[in-house]
Amino acid sequence: MTVFLESLRLAFSSLRANPLRAVLTILGIVIGVAAVVALTSIGGGSTRAVENRFNAFGTDTITVQTSRFSSNATPLSASDLAAIKATPGVKTTVYTVDTNATVTSGSSAAMATVTGTFPQIKSIDHLTVAAGTFFSDFAVAHALPVAVLGSTVASDMGLTPLRAVGQTINVGGVRFQVVAVLASQGGISFGSVDSSIIVPLSSIEGRLVGFHPDITSVRVQSTPSAMGSFSAAVESTLRTQHNLSTSAQDDFQIVNASSIASAVSSSTKTLTELMAAIAAISLIVGGIGVANVMLMTVRERTREIGVRRAVGATRRDIVMQFLVDAVVISLIGGVIGLAVGFGGAYAGGSALSVTPVFSPTAVILAIVVAVVVGVVAGIGPALQASSVEPTNALRYE
């Protein structure tokens, strides 16, 4: 213990004796640790943001669409909808009819997807209303020209949520009154509600679309007990409904937000790990810098080594001295690197609108790697220092 404490004292004395060299050496470790911590934290935050966005659409829902990859696909029909509703495990269904239209309000104009549907879409899609009230079954029954704006549409029209409610807008030549504006929801593969206008289906039949139009998609919500199996059950129902043979390709498409979330999350994690591996290269470069400085230190302190050996210091004591010196440099660099990494993660996350997620494993690993780098970088110079003969060292100039 006495030898270790003495080596520690000598290490800090060496740092104070050459402050500029110490700073430049430590800087390599700082950059490496900071890069690893910042990138893994921002990557973790991105992964969580992706998962949250997809989960906002509900892990208990799927979307059924006409297949875009089958040459013999036919639009979904009323009988398909009835079959889906009767499928075991299905709690609620609602279908949509989509069309694109130019939306104008005063001098402002924007392109938007107009979704004709029913009030149940609000609960199935977990939509949050920022201002106003979502339309009701009464509006559908009486074909009232009322509209719910997505957040992006409202913004493109230059309207805040509170200002938008009560305004009259022109949608493809048809006047609608805005009754609500949605909070930002984000988007996934089957469209973003932020860029949509949701209206009662009956209000656009015969106006923006024909009477009894083709179904664009069917949103399906499961019962709590069937969340893991209802997607396969719906697929089986539709294959039977469409008289598809065992080897035939589906002529419909089922989009499962949970599956997409899992795939995207996995890809994001892989990318984060790759970035962290690239950042870790700078730790190796920092380690080479530490080794370089330690070799120079051995040469500069050759006479000191000779004196210590002459007064009784063993080779083990010399090895301990230079190893502690290298580890202290790396450990200081690791701690400062952690602080810089935390700051960089928050700064980068703010720029990318991502809340960083700090992994305790990554933080501990960064410090451990910094210490290992110090040991590996210091072991060679330490052994070289211990092998110096006292008589030759005392004559060294």
Burial bucket for residue 256 (CB in 10 Å: 0-12, 13-18, 19+): middle
How far apart, in whole angstroms, are the C-alpha atoms of residue 160 and residue 380?
67
H or E segment and range at residue 371: helix 360-386
Which residues are registered as beta bridge partners of 187?
A: 192
**Cα–Cα dist 29/372, whole Å:** 12
374 vs 125: which has the higher pLDDT: 125
Q: Of the candidates 324, 308, 305, 318, which has an alpha carbon nearest to the alpha carbon of residue 8?
A: 324
State yes or no: pLDDT of 191 exceeds 70: no
Comparing 118 with 358, the larger pLDDT belongs to 118
Position 209 scores a pLDDT of 92
Q: Which has more confidence, 272 or 242?
A: 242
Range 42-61 average pLDDT: 73
Check whether 359 has a pLDDT greater than 60: yes
CA-CA distance, 389 to 176, in Å (whole number)? 94
pLDDT averaged over every residue in the chain: 81
Kindly tell me if the per-residue pLDDT of 282 is higher than 70: yes
* Mean pLDDT, residues 351-372 taken together: 79
**Top-confidence residue, 32 or 241:** 241
Residue 361, φ and ψ in degrees, nearest 5:
-60, -45
pTM: 0.62
Bridge pairing between strands 196-200 and 187-188:
unpaired
CA angle 39, 40, 45 (to 5 degrees): 100
Q: Taking CA 50 as the corner, what is the angle to CA 49 and CA 52, rounded to the nearest 5 degrees?
A: 65
Q: Exposed e or buried b for every residue in 295-312, given b needs 16+ CB within 10 A?
A: bebbeebbebbbebbeee
| Confidence band, pLDDT 50/70/90 cuts, at residue 190 | very low
Question: What's the CA gap between 291 and 58, in Å, rounded?
Answer: 54
74-83, 105-114, 357-366 — which is least confidently predicted?
A: 357-366
pLDDT at position 391: 58
Which candidate, 68, 70, 123, 65, places its Cα nearest to that of 256? 65
**Rounded Cα–Cα distance for residues 131 and 24 (Å):** 56
Distance CA 118, CA 116 (A): 7
Does residue 255 surpass a pLDDT of 90?
no
The answer to whether residue 301 scores a pLDDT higher than 70 is: no
Structure tokens at 361: 């494993």
- DSSP reduced 3-state for 167: coil
Q: Please tell me the predicted confidence (pLDDT) of residue 386.
A: 67
pLDDT range class, residue 118, cuts 50, 70, 90: very high
Torsion-angle region of 158 (φ positive above 0: left; ψ -120 to 50: alpha; else: beta): left
Confidence class of residue 38 from pLDDT cuts 50, 70 and 90? confident
**170: pLDDT strictly greater than 80:** yes
Who has greater pLDDT, 185 or 77?
77
Report pLDDT digits (tens) over 268-280: 777 777 777 777 7
Q: Which of 55-69, 87-101, 216-230 has the highest mean pLDDT?
A: 87-101
pLDDT at position 3 is 60
Chain Cα centroid distance, residue 104: 35
Least confident of 147-151, 318-322, 374-378, 386-390: 386-390
